[in-house]
Structure 1
Amino acid sequence: MNTNIVILDDHSILVQGLKMMLENEKGFSVVATFLNGNNIVNFMEDHKVDIILLDVTLPGKDGIELCREVKLLFPECRIIMLSNHTERSIIVKCMQNGANGYLLKNISVNDLLQSIKEVMAGNIVFCNDTKKIISKILSNQPIEPINLTKREKQIIQLLAQGKTSVNIAQELFLSPLTVDTYRKNLLQKFQVKNSTELVSMAIQKNIIED
């Protein structure tokens, strides 16, 4: 079964290069390319799209806002941000808006292909450079150890894979309410506001396996 991919970037040379590369891979179909986000929603109303490779900087509506809009309308579609922006605030905002991953454009072809496969499997993906950026939350402060139970570590690992409380509950044979309680306790332990920051902190502290 083919993975239907849309590429959305305002650099036509990059778009064409990505299109040629992906179409040479078995199981991938590039069903459309766009240089801006004006027509993507209309296209998705009539076509099945599994993954969007989305740049942050676009003419008109930027990729961060477009990510939020697409996710609200088509929650099953996976979005991988593919950008040159290295600001942590932008990366976090993209993840808060529903992105399934954030890759820098200097990523290798093999890593891009693997990232697409990982996202289709339900995981959240970051390239190594992005992991380093988002892990600098407390880079100028001593890192205090956080004592976690085995169950808490399992839940953080599953959150990093993009799984919902319902998914985690099914996998660990718990109730969704119990998983939500664990998640809220973890937010307090790590002193963060949401699951994205929790995952970022866990990467910094080497709690999540690469």
Structure 2
Amino acid sequence: MNINVLLVDDRQLLLECLSNRLNKEPTIRVVGVVSNPEFLLHEIIATSPNIVLMNIGMKLVNGIDLTVELLKNMPHLRIIILSKHDYAEYIQAAYNAGASAFMTEEKPIQELIFTIKQVYSGHKLFPKIEVIKIDKMLTPKEYEILKWIAEDKTNSEISEEMMISIRTVEYHISSIIRKLNVESRVGAVVTAIKRGLLSIK
């Protein structure tokens, strides 16, 4: 039985190279490539992939946001996040978003093939990161609040959107500011964008 894989990246050349290489593997079949994330949902419905292989850092939107959105409606979907960097923030964000694996682009193709097969079998594969760094990562709720802040929402508006008290919102914002080692809401957004946790829209 073939493992059907959908590739998502805004670099067309990389998509073609990766597709050609993966299709040489007897048990893997690339069912589609998506260079524009706007067409991702349509392509998933059309091709029914077992696994989505997605880059974390695309120009229009990042792979973390896409992972969260996809898994809300398709929790069975297995997503592998690819990245140029193995920053602890990226790894933890991918894990929190519900991805099945994270690996850097520099890894050999055979390791990627191994990861695809392992994820298809139900395993989760993430690089080990220092526990001291994990403690500083944002929780899913903090990440959601950070995205609302990036959209210039007030504490009151975030409270209404998330159906939590303003005091709780303020608590989470203080935690975000502390974890990102910044001094303000604006600083938190800027730092998150630099680290690839948020996309510039």
- The TM-score normalised by the length of structure 1 is 0.60
Instruction: Describe the SS at the equivalent of 2:132.
Output: coil
Match of residue 86 from structure 1 = 86
Aligned-pair identity (%) = 27
Match of residue 105 from structure 2 = 105
Instruction: Describe the SS at the equivalent of 1:138.
Output: helix
Match of residue 144 from structure 1 = none
1:127-183 deviation line (CA, Å, top 9, x unaligned): xxx32xx2x2238xxxxxxxxxxxxxxxxxxxxxxxxxxxxxxxxxxxxxxxxxxxx
CA contact (8 A) 1:19 1:30 kept: yes
Match of residue 138 from structure 1 = 132
Match of residue 164 from structure 1 = none
Match of residue 30 from structure 1 = 30
> What are the within-5 Å matches in structure 2 for residues 50-69 of structure 1?
50-69=50-69
Alpha-carbon distance between aligned partners in 2 of 1:48 and 1:9, rounded to the nearest angstrom:
18
- Paired residue type of 2:81: M
Alpha-carbon distance between aligned partners in 2 of 1:82 and 1:93, rounded to the nearest angstrom:
12
Q: Where do 5+ consecutive residues of structure 1 fail to align?
A: 140-210
Q: CA deviation at 1:62?
A: 1.2
Alpha-carbon distance between aligned partners in 2 of 1:56 and 1:42, rounded to the nearest angstrom:
20
- Paired residue type of 2:115: S
Match of residue 201 from structure 1 = none
1:36-90 deviation line (CA, Å, top 9, x unaligned): 3111112222331111111011121211100111111111111000111322112
Alpha-carbon distance between aligned partners in 1 of 2:30 and 2:104, rounded to the nearest angstrom:
20
Alpha-carbon distance between aligned partners in 2 of 1:137 and 1:35, rounded to the nearest angstrom:
35
Alpha-carbon distance between aligned partners in 1 of 2:27 and 2:37, rounded to the nearest angstrom:
25
Q: CA deviation at 1:116?
A: 0.6
CA contact (8 A) 1:51 1:77 kept: yes
Distance 1:59 1:138, change over 3 A: closer
Alpha-carbon distance between aligned partners in 1 of 2:7 and 2:123, rounded to the nearest angstrom:
20
Q: CA deviation at 1:24?
A: 0.6
Aligned length in residues? 133
Q: Where do 5+ consecutive residues of structure 2 fail to align?
A: 134-201
- Paired residue type of 1:137: V
Match of residue 96 from structure 2 = 96
1:103-147 deviation line (CA, Å, top 9, x unaligned): 000111111111111001110113xxx32xx2x2238xxxxxxxx
Alpha-carbon distance between aligned partners in 1 of 2:46 and 2:85, rounded to the nearest angstrom:
31
Give the aligned CA root-mean-square deviation in angstroms.
Answer: 1.4
Alpha-carbon distance between aligned partners in 1 of 2:53 and 2:47, rounded to the nearest angstrom:
16
Alpha-carbon distance between aligned partners in 1 of 2:25 and 2:95, rounded to the nearest angstrom:
27
- Paired residue type of 1:11: R
- Paired residue type of 1:138: I
Q: CA deviation at 1:4?
A: 0.9
Instruction: Describe the SS at the equivalent of 2:81.
Output: strand
Structure 1: which 4+ aligned runs deviate by more than 6 Å? none
